[in-house]
Amino acid sequence: MEPRRKYSTALHTCHPCRRAIPYRIYAVIHTCGIIALMYHHVLSILTANNTLITCLLLLSDIVLAFMWVTTTSLRLNPVHRTEYPEKYAAKPEDFPKLDVFICTADPYKEPPMMVVNTALSVMAYEYASDKISVYVSDDGGSSLTLFALMEAAKFSKRWLPFCKNNNVQDRSPEVYFSSESQSQSEEAENLKLMYEDMKSRVENVAESGKVETAFITCDQFRGVFDLWTDKFTRHDHPTIIQVLQHNETDEMMPNLIYVSREKSKVSPHHYKAGALNTLLRVSAVMTNSPIILTLDCDMYSNNPTTPLHALCYLSDPKINFGLGFVQFPQKFQGINKNDIYASELKRPFDINTIGFDGLTGPVHMGTGCFFNRRAFYGPPASLILPEIEKLGPNRIVDMSIKNQDILALAHDVAGCNYERNTNWGSKIGFRYGSLVEDYYTGFMLHCEGWRSVFCSPKKAAFYGESPKCLTDIIGQQIRWSVGLLEVTFSRYNPITYGLKSLSLLMSLGYCHYAFWPFWSIPLVVYGLLPQVALIHGFSVFPKASDPWFWLYISLFLGGYGQDLSDFLLEGGTYRKWWNDQRMWMVRGLSSFFFGFTEFTLKTLNLSTQGFNVTSKANDDNEQMKRYEQEIFDFGPSSSMFLPMTTVAIVNLLAFVWGIYVIFTWGEGPVLELMLASFVVVNCLPIYEAMVLRIDDGKLTSRICFLAGLLTFVLTGSCYFLLK
């Protein structure tokens, strides 16, 4: 384990969590229990008649034990940090320039007004405005997004001064004008009318799907929209870079630049990682700020002093040499009271992150991250220079961003063939090779020797939109699973490659995510095998009179008890924890299971997994109503729900049969019945969607029929397996 980091500088402090020592003691006890369980499995293999069943249980317990070890590596030294931005704010002349990267890719799944509010919220930071440059990457190449940003640039001239003069805290206009705390002054009312007028124009253009000439009020941009011809598609189009606002003419206003990189059907574009690398190069040419903030288009700024929190670390001479990035947690708005879909992702975004922070630092989460630009150009002690000098991280830009030579070079470095025979994506910039470019890039930066810091101020730095549809959530996590498996089965596996550069605990922490999809193995085995055995009168677990019975009970209660304590200590509730562990089962039987399938097909060149943008547009009123009422919405018929529905039916049958056996004969397989009961309670929303509901969010008759048929086949075929 790396030494505990305690800093007592004026700008920040670090405090170890009090639960670290009890967790270390429990880790020793639980480890002894796991060793005893493995010993029991070996004895069973040597003495059992059916070694296949024992081997399946052993495989499942090996996966569970390994995943517990990876989780425990993040529980041994968790830390909490506190920043004091008010001490840094007294020195505005020391503020470094800041480049903000906002990524969007589809104007229908990511509405242009969402992008506008995110851009305006960061442009209005409590920061020297002339030192902020906002770059919006439009990977969908949409004229609708460009039009929306043109409108935002005009509105910002009134919005930014209003925010700073009135100390407005909610600097997303949509949030401010929707809140009860908005000012009732005449200026505020006029601004609200301006905003509603802008919103109406943008939404009308988005609805029509085309920017008509009548909507363009700025003469200098009229010719830009002529680029959108019949041959222009989101997968095949030229580079478009438009400076919508620059601080040379608007002295106290931030730069706002629209970037849509060149796309060609015959050239790889590497999804979001490719878009971010394009922004790295374009910004290096135009502003080359030493600090970079990356944001998803739905993640608006909720705290105007967020950059100062980050600078408390990035400007500290005691740690800034090897500090690669400062990661803020992802927070989401509009989540229902008990978070039925576990959309907060509290475990990866809060609980695990403070554990990583006590080691080398948190993983990169894809958004809400302040980077040291130098971190993208090789290890701290070994600078890797790019192919041309003007892309170097230390260059001082002394020319206007409107200079024609600067714009020409920016267009050149945004070309689809620019990266050929260069180090971009391999040694420089965001890394290619995985759909989870954030996890992969953060891992490679840590392996190169960079550290990171987790910064979670009391007032959340960012708020975003989470999907409200179960289909969208599962689809998103299938993509994550495929990306994680791409790292797991590459030469950059966290075990084989990570141990060469990282500590054992840090490597195990990265393994916790890399091997995430492997959760599906024990969930499938424990979700079906003991229950089918119960139905056929066989026992796969020790009887209640057997001393080994209590080993299973203690491991189950200990594991779940520690998980619950983690959740509660980091501000969660019992109901949210229950829904979180239920969604862990749902993900294991859907996202992780189908992620494995997609990855296998992709590896065999039988399928190509693309980057499907998760929809942030929640315009289905009935769906939103069900979500607010905490009713599961299974949406349209999808094979993704077949495994979990099958497991639900099998466990219900096992539960009913187990109760019958106990009342009839007075004894029965207790552990199998307890497990089936636990699964049945977790599956109550599934039973409700199968039988009791008539709304559009129920499980379809097709899925229910196929699940019933699959249950019949499984229970019948497993009889011969158990014999």
Q: For tokens 């001490």, what's the residue?
A: 87
Please work out, in degrees rounded to the nearest 5, the angle formed at the alpha carbon of residue 173 by the alpha carbons of 169 and 176. Answer: 50
Taking a C-beta distance cutoff of 8 angstroms, is the pair 589, 524 a contact? yes
Least confident of 349-353, 381-385, 686-690, 692-696: 692-696
pLDDT band at residue 90, thresholds of 50, 70 and 90?
Answer: low
Tokens of 477: 């996590």
Q: Which long-range contacts (CB under 8 A, 24 or more apart) does 389-398 make?
A: 390/284, 390/285, 391/281, 391/284, 391/285, 392/284, 393/284, 393/288, 393/290, 395/284, 395/288, 396/288, 397/285, 397/286, 397/287, 397/288
Three-class SS state of 81:
strand
pLDDT band at residue 618, thresholds of 50, 70 and 90?
Answer: low
CA–CA dist 709, 713 (Å, integer):
6
Q: Dihedral through CA 268, CA 424, CA 310, CA 82, nearest 10?
A: 90
Note the pLDDT of residue 217.
Answer: 67
Percent of the chain with pLDDT over 70: 94
Catalytic residues: 139, 438
- pTM for this one? 0.92
Residue 645 reports pLDDT greater than 90: yes
The top-scoring range by mean pLDDT among 13-17, 613-617, 717-721 is 13-17
pLDDT band at residue 612, thresholds of 50, 70 and 90?
Answer: low
Note the pLDDT of residue 4.
Answer: 43
Q: Which residues are annotated as a binding site for UDP-alpha-D-glucose?
A: 109-110, 139
Phi-psi bin for 368: left (phi > 0), alpha (psi -120 to 50), beta? Answer: left
Give CA 266 to chain center in angstroms. 29
255-260/240-245 β-pairing: antiparallel
291-296/98-104 β-pairing: parallel
Taking a C-beta distance cutoff of 8 angstroms, is the pair 527, 589 a contact? yes
User: pLDDT by residue (tens digit) across 279-331?
Assistant: 999 999 999 999 999 999 999 999 999 999 999 999 988 888 899 999 999 99
Q: Which residues are annotated as a binding site for Mn(2+)?
A: 272, 296
User: pLDDT by residue (tens digit) across 108-136?
Assistant: 889 999 999 999 999 999 998 889 999 99
Instruction: Please tell me what DSSP assigns to residue 240.
Output: E
Q: How far is CA 106 from CA 35, 212, 235, 648, in A?
A: 51, 20, 12, 36
User: pLDDT by residue (tens digit) across 156-188?
Assistant: 999 999 999 999 999 999 999 988 777 778 888
User: pLDDT by residue (tens digit) across 491-543?
Assistant: 999 999 999 999 999 999 999 999 999 999 999 999 999 999 999 888 889 98
Residue 248 reports pLDDT greater than 90: no
Note the pLDDT of residue 1.
Answer: 35
Between 492 and 468, where is the model more confident? 492
Other Cβ atoms less than 10 A from the Cβ of 420: the count is 10
Q: HEC states along 247-295?
A: CCCCCCCCEEEEEECCECCCCCCCHHHHHHHHHHHHHHHHCCCCEEEEE
Length of the chain: 723
Note the pLDDT of residue 5.
Answer: 43
Any residues with CB less than 8 A from the CB of 380 and at least 6 apart, and which?
Answer: 321, 322, 374, 448, 449, 450
Instruction: Please tell me what DSSP assigns to residue 211.
Output: -
Any residues with CB less than 8 A from the CB of 504 and at least 6 apart, and which?
Answer: 73
Residue 719 reports pLDDT greater than 80: no
Give the type of residue at 576: K
What integer best gives the mean pLDDT of the chain?
Answer: 90
Residue 88 reports pLDDT greater than 90: no
pLDDT band at residue 371, thresholds of 50, 70 and 90?
Answer: very high
The counts of H helices and E strands in the chain are 25, 13
Residue 399 reports pLDDT greater than 50: yes
Note the pLDDT of residue 451.
Answer: 97
User: pLDDT by residue (tens digit) across 209-221?
Assistant: 888 776 776 666 6
Domain extents in the chain = 100-299+373-417, 516-722
Q: Which residues are annotated as a binding site?
A: 109-110, 139, 272, 296
Residue 609 reports pLDDT greater than 70: no
pLDDT band at residue 404, thresholds of 50, 70 and 90?
Answer: very high
